[in-house]
């Protein structure tokens, strides 16, 4: 399985930099950013790119989610959304996914819109009572998927 995390709709420089550190710490080779604006677009992208280069990883910046789907051609798209989730998964023992999987996290406080959530499979975590935010969500699911893969440090897990 190849994981491609996507941080969508982000304006915070710190949130973008922290997401890059988190994704690369799990040994994932590529982070995608879509719809960066404000400080994230001006200062966050260069900072995330610096972090990527430091860890010999990749950063891809795209204008919106449709470009993510069209250009990366994932086999499965997971939308991490509290308010639109159709399924609650165990983040420590997640379902088995195969192929190229994009996992899309919302980088802003409001959750995904219904139309954004319809781009993929909207899921959230069993036992969580409110939205954690992109960093907490990414830490949970990437940890679970890394455990499932036997802890191998690779973009393909």
Could you tell me the domains of the chain? 2-148 (3.40.1280.10)
Q: Is the predicted pLDDT of residue 149 greater than 80, yes or no?
A: no
93-139 pLDDT per residue, tens: 899 888 999 999 999 988 999 999 999 999 999 999 999 999 999 99
65 touches 105 (CB < 8 A): no
Residue 110's pLDDT is what? 87
13-42 pLDDT per residue, tens: 999 999 999 999 999 999 999 999 999 999
Residue 150's pLDDT is what? 64
Q: What is the C-alpha to C-alpha distance for residues 108 and 67, in angstroms, rounded to an integer? A: 19
Residue 113's pLDDT is what? 92
CA-only gyration radius of the chain, Å: 14
If you average pLDDT over residues 133-154, what whole number do you get?
82
Residue 151's pLDDT is what? 58
Q: Is the predicted pLDDT of residue 78 greater than 60, yes or no?
A: yes
100 touches 2 (CB < 8 A): yes
Q: What is the pTM of this model?
A: 0.93
Residue 26's pLDDT is what? 95
Report the SS3 class of residue 34.
strand
- Return the percentage of the chain with pLDDT > 70, whole number: 94
């Amino acid at each position: 399985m190849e994981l491609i995390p996507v941080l969508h709709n982000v304006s915070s420089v710190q949130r973008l930099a922290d997401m890059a550190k988190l994704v690369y710490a799990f040994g994932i080779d590529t982070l995608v950013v879509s719809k960066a604006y404000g400080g994230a677009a001006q200062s966050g992208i260069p900072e995330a790119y610096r972090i990527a280069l430091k860890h010999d990883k990749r950063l891809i910046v795209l204008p919106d989610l449709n470009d993510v789907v069209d250009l990366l051609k994932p086999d499965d798209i997971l939308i991490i959304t509290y308010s639109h989730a159709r399924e609650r998964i165990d983040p420590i023992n997640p379902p088995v996914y195969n192929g190229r999987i994009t996992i899309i996290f919302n980088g802003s406080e409001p959750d995904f819109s219904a139309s954004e959530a319809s781009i993929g499979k909207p899921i959230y975590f069993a036992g969580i009572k409110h939205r954690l935010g992109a960093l907490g969500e990414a830490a949970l699911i990437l940890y679970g998927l890394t455990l499932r893969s036997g802890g191998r440090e690779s973009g393909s897990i």
